[in-house]
A and B are shown apart, each in its own frame.
Chain A
Amino acid sequence: MSRAILLPLGAALAVIGAGPAAAQTVNVAINADIRSINPGVNRDDYTDSVVLHIVEGLVALRENGSIGPLLAEKVALSPDGLTYTFSLRRNAKFHNGAPLTAADVLWSWNRYMDPKTDWRCLSEFDGRGGLKVEAVTAPDAHTVVMRINKPNALFLDSLARTDCAMAGVLHKTSVNPDGSFKSPVGTGPFKLGEWKRGEYVTLTRFDGYVSPPGSSPDGYTGAKRPLVEAVKFIVIPDPATTKAALLSGAVDTAEVQATDLLEMQRSPKVEVKTTTTANKHVFLFQTRDPLMGNAKLRQAIAASLDMRQIVGNVSRGLARPNASVIHLTSAYYDDAQRQGYTYDPAAAKRLLSEAGYKGEKIKLITNKRSGRPSFDMALIAQQMMQAVGLNVDIEVLEWGTQIDRYNKGNYQMMAFSYSARLDPALSYEQIAGPKDTQPRKVWENPEALKLIDKASATSNVAERGKIFDELHKRFMADVPMIMVFNSVDVNAQQKRLQGFTPWVASKPRLWEVRVAK
């Protein structure tokens, strides 16, 4: 076909395919469709990423992992640590124009605590997890008071949890007269526009939004002005297609794989930002296994692994090793937390001998989920372990099967990834607990469990720091698991996108973002 035909044909196709000129819309790629628009009910990370643009809670995560006020202007704690008084911001409004009042917060909270709502975090607040919110009252239109059963330093952290949708405050018109959920009417900078299942979700700017104080975003607090007219989360399941969409300009921002970093950096239209997150990539041990129950064997495995090589390789040089369950950017990450295992194959062999290891097979379970380093970690670790005389077989499982084995504690060793917990006590709670009632837990040292409870009860920063340092020492000695590294998100975005910054919680924030002309 001659150029005389091809060029006009291509131009014609491009014009037809371009669609109407888009008003300021930021297009964000997500790998899978959201599950629902009902906050905290049926969710995953993508769902939270979208819904948390629509709803806001009383408090929220800051950039450094601490908790700051959001719909509350300030939070006061009684001396006995049992009563939290939230003073609401006076200028916050719902998407339907109604002003936020304490009655709305009360209504919203009662709805979450109703079992019929299916709020996934109900058990965190109804006493089954230890913490119980005994009463919630609204003494006046701008004050909400919550009383809990016992002092708990993590109460506000739990309220701010993103998987709980921050206990986001909804207006009554979010539900139908029969109580069934209709559509979220929140206070966030964006409103729900259109949700085309399997394709995209569009959010539109809430023109009546009044930002919390601040000159820039600070996690989910700080400045939150919606500077663009709309945000469109487009479902693109394939990483290669995501890359093509970025390079062609069809999307403005997307998380890409570390292997695509160089190519993205070479593009004149795209820039790349990397952020260390609080997600954890680890090797788990089943300490109740007859073989892996031997602490010396676990210590030998720890000594056999060159973490710098493993992490440098699987993260393409972007991440660094972290032997602590406290993430690298936490305020509690200090010199004590920096202590890790020393790579020492000779010591590993000696420990194996002391452990009485006779070459028994160790099964290392992993998976090949896209975007996770588990398989590569397992492969490299296997070679290193075999080099010191360990007999290791890799078993690759599909993720659903692996999580089933994880929940049942049915494994010897596993390459695994944990989702982010910003508070160190929550991070330890994620891995530690009694295996009799929670087989998924990896660390059941009674002293450690007491220390974790203590850290959960006290708000004193210095005291908590000492507790976490002690916990880390015990963690290193017991080796119930090997913490390898915190993942690094690689975010590629069009250069015309201004103000977009990825952060430790690994969720996009499209407020304070504009598209340059």
Chain B
Amino acid sequence: MLGFIVKRLLMAVPTLLIVAVSVFVLVRLVPGDPASLLLGDMATPSALADLQRRLGLDRSLPAQFGIWFGHVLQGDLGQSITSQQPVLPLVWDRFLVSGRLVVVAVFLAVLVAVPAGMVAAWRQNSLADLVLVGTSTLLLSIPTFWLGLLILLLFGLKLGWLPVVGHVSFAQSPGHALMYMIMPVLTLFLHEIGVVMRMARASTLEVLRLDYITHARAKGLSEREVMWRHAFRNSFGPTWTLIGLVLGNLLGGIAVVETVFSIPGLGRLLVDSIFGRDYPVIQGCLLFVAFVYVVVNLVVDLLYPLFDPRVTAS
């Protein structure tokens, strides 16, 4: 097991190296540079040259990459051009904000979506199935931006139950932190339910068609035992893989939700840094996101044998 983990982590190194080089090159291919954006329409040639020199942008690309990557190997992702904060703590702080929302939303979505998907499969083509599939399709089709705004307008403005703007950390006040989390978590929860429910339904339908389920029913087992002991564990595998992908995707940033709810998360940081050509932050964010993907998929793979004993670490 330990060997498997080490091997997977080592395999991540070339992946991260490719990500580092690709991101470095790609951001510099985009027209515009941080100096001209910082100075805007007031960019005199001398001010522009001064700033480009201070930011190290007058060096050759290989030199810039060498300097940056050398620091990365020492755990230093550089300094933000816009805010002049060190990138790694900045990315980490923002990741914690986004990560909290994502983990809670996905956890709740799985709690609801998996049983719902199983019920839909169990009662295939019934009214319950129709309603559940219809609801999941509707939720999948609604853009998160619009969903978030609707929730904000209803609970924040119309009913006045929840704060419209702001963010409070758990360290400051757990109660208030929860209040500010409700709407963004609800938005993500509603959106991800659709995805997870459809997969849970599809994989449960496949399993319910298998002979051993008929055998279990013929043995006289109750439907609850058939579904929980036999169907669930065998059908959850693909859903588990999907959850890993969803988590990895969302942990990379939920920029739209963060923008609607004014949350200082990783997604907004990445989008703002792209628009501001804040190279160190873009590179740092994407490298970090790639690393998160590696870790999440590793955890998913490690836990997979719990659901499907045929799959082992070897």
CB pair A437 B37 closer than 8 Å: no
- Complexed CA–CA distance, A160 and B288 (Å): 43
Return the chain A residue nearest B265 by Cβ: A198
Q: Is A238 a contact of B32 with CB atoms below 8 Å?
A: no
Asked if A251 contacts B36 (CB within 8 A), the reply is no
State the majority secondary structure of interface residues on A.
mixed
Contact residues in B for A399 (Cβ distance below 8 Å): 37, 275
Determine whether the beta carbon of A234 is less than 8 Å from that of B157.
Answer: no
CA distance A197 to B268 in the complex (A): 13
- Selected from A35, A234, A405, the residue in CB contact (under 8 A) with B165 is A234
Interface residues of B in 235-252 (CB under 8 A from A): none
A198 and B268 contact, CB distance less than 8 A:
yes
A419:B42 contact, CB within 8 angstroms: yes
- B-side residues, CB < 8 A to A, are 30-33, 36-48, 50, 54, 82-85, 94, 149, 152-153, 156-157, 159-167, 175-176, 179-180, 259-262, 264, 268-269, 272, 275-277
Which of B42, B47, B85, B277 is packed against the most chain A CB atoms within 10 Å? Answer: B42
Between-chain CB contacts (< 8 Å), 25 pairs: A10-B161, A16-B176, A17-B161, A29-B165, A33-B83, A36-B83, A42-B83, A44-B38, A120-B39, A123-B50, A129-B44, A197-B83, A198-B269, A237-B262, A238-B260, A240-B260, A241-B262, A244-B164, A248-B156, A400-B30, A400-B31, A401-B31, A403-B41, A404-B32, A407-B43
Contacts A123-B47, A237-B262, A400-B277 given: A250-B32 contact, CB under 8 Å?
Answer: no
Distance to closest chain A CB from B60 (angstroms): 19
Pair B41/A234 contact, Cβ less than 8 Å:
no
Give Cα distance in the complex from A344 to B85, angstroms. 55
8 Å CB interface, A434-462 against B: 437-438, 440
Residue with the greatest number of chain B CB neighbours at <10 A, chosen from A17, A35, A251: A17
Query: Quick check: A407 and B48 within 8 Å, CB to CB?
Result: yes
Interface residues of A in 232-291 (CB under 8 A from B): 234-238, 240-241, 244-245, 247-248, 250-251
> Across the interface, which residues of B come within 8 angstroms of A197, CB to CB?
83, 85, 264
Query: Whole-angstrom distance between the alpha carbons of A122 and B47 in the complex?
Result: 9
Instruction: Answer whether A35 and B83 are a contact pair too, CB < 8 Å, given A14-B160, A198-B264, A238-B262.
Output: yes
Q: In the complex, are the beta carbons of B45 and A438 less than 8 A apart?
A: yes
How far, in Å, is A315 (CB) from chain B's closest CB?
A: 20
Q: Is the C-beta of A19 less than 8 angstroms from some C-beta in chain B?
A: yes
**Chain A, 205-240, CB within 8 A of any chain B CB:** 234-238, 240
What per-residue 1/0 map shows which CB atoms of A414-430 lie under 8 Å from chain B? 00101100000000001
At the interface, yes or no: A118 with Cβ under 8 Å from chain B?
A: yes
In angstroms, Cα B44 to Cα A122, docked, is 12
- Determine which residue in B84, B156, B262, B277 has the highest number of CB atoms from chain A within 10 A of its CB, and name it: B262
- With A35-B83, A245-B164 known as contacts, the answer to whether A400 contacts B152 (CB < 8 A) is no
* Alpha-carbon separation in the docked complex, A36 to B82 (Å): 9
A199-B167 contact given A14-B160, A238-B260, CB 8 Å threshold: yes
- Shortest beta-carbon distance from A146 to chain B in Å: 22
Closest beta carbon of chain A to B99's beta carbon, Å = 15
Question: By the criterion CB–CB under 8 Å, are B156 and A400 in contact?
Answer: no
Instruction: State which of A10, A32, A398, A416 has its C-beta within 8 Å of the C-beta of B159.
Output: A10
Beyond the given pairs A237-B259, A440-B41, 6 more chain A to chain B contacts, judged by CB atoms under 8 angstroms and listed by A's residue number, are: A241-B262, A248-B156, A404-B36, A437-B45, A438-B44, A438-B45
Q: Are A244 and B42 in contact (CB under 8 A)?
A: no
The reply to whether B47 and A13 form a contact with Cβ atoms under 8 Å apart is no
Q: Which residues of B contact A407 (CB under 8 A)?
A: 36, 43, 48
| Residue among B94, B165, B167, B259 making CB contact with A245, cutoff 8 Å | B165
- Closest 3 A/B residue pairs (Cβ): A198-B264, A400-B32, A404-B32
Chain A residues, Cβ within 8 Å of B152: 240-241, 244
Residue pair A17, B48 in contact (C-beta under 8 Å): no
A419 to B39, CA, bound (A): 11
Q: Are A236 and B161 in contact (CB under 8 A)?
A: no
**Is A163 in the interface zone, CB < 8 Å from B?**
yes
Given contacts A401-B31, A430-B41, A438-B44, contact A248 B160 (CB under 8 A): yes
With A13-B161, A13-B179, A17-B179 as known contacts, state yes or no: A400 contacts B47, CB within 8 Å: no
The residue of chain B having its C-beta at the shortest distance from the C-beta of A236 within the complex is: B262
B32, B153, B175: the one contacting A16 at CB < 8 Å is B175
- The CA-CA distance from A16 to B165 in the complex, in Å, is 15
Interface positions of A from 107 to 150, Cβ below 8 Å from B: 118, 120, 122-123, 128-129
CA distance A399 to B31 in the complex (A): 10
Judging by beta carbons under 8 Å apart, are B179 and A16 in contact? yes
Please report the C-alpha to C-alpha distance between residue A398 and residue B27 in the assembled complex, in whole angstroms: 14
* In the complex, A503 has a CB within 8 A of chain B: no
A422 to B38, CA, bound (A): 21
Cα(A7)–Cα(B36), bound, Å: 54
A17 and B176 in contact, given A244-B152, A250-B163, A405-B31 (Cβ under 8 angstroms): yes
Q: Give complex CA distance A19, B162 in Å.
A: 11
Which residues from chain B contact A237 at a C-beta distance below 8 Å? 259, 262, 268
Q: Is B259 within 8 A of A234, CB to CB?
A: no
Q: Which B residues touch A244, using CB under 8 A?
A: 152-153, 156-157, 164
- What residues of chain B lie closer than 8 Å to A240, measured between beta carbons? 149, 152, 260
Contact between B166 and A234, CB atoms less than 8 A apart: yes
Give Cα A342 to B45, complex, Å.
Answer: 36
Residue in B30, B84, B166, B272 whose Cβ sees the most chain A Cβ within 10 Å: B166
Task: Tell me the smallest distance from the CB of A160 to a CB of chain B, in Å.
Answer: 15
Check A42/B84 contact, CB under 8 A, given A17-B176, A248-B157: yes
- Give the shortest distance, in Å, between B262 (CB) and chain A (any CB): 5
The B-contacting residues of A in range 2-56, CB under 8 angstroms, are 10, 13-14, 16-17, 19, 29, 32-33, 35-36, 42, 44
Which chain B residue lies CB-closest to A280?
B41
The residue of chain B having its C-beta at the shortest distance from the C-beta of A38 within the complex is B84
* A406 lies within 8 A of chain B by Cβ: yes
Using CB atoms, name the residue of chain A closest to B180: A17
Q: Which of B31, B38, B269 has the most CB of A within 10 A?
A: B31
- Bound CA span A405–B43, Å: 13
Would you give the shortest CB distance from A95 to chain B, in whole angstroms?
23
A403 near B32: Cβ-Cβ < 8 Å = yes
In the complex formed, the residue of B with least CB distance to A240 is B149
Q: Which residues of A contact B48 (CB under 8 A)?
A: 407
Q: Which residue on chain A has the smallest CB distance to residue B43?
A: A407
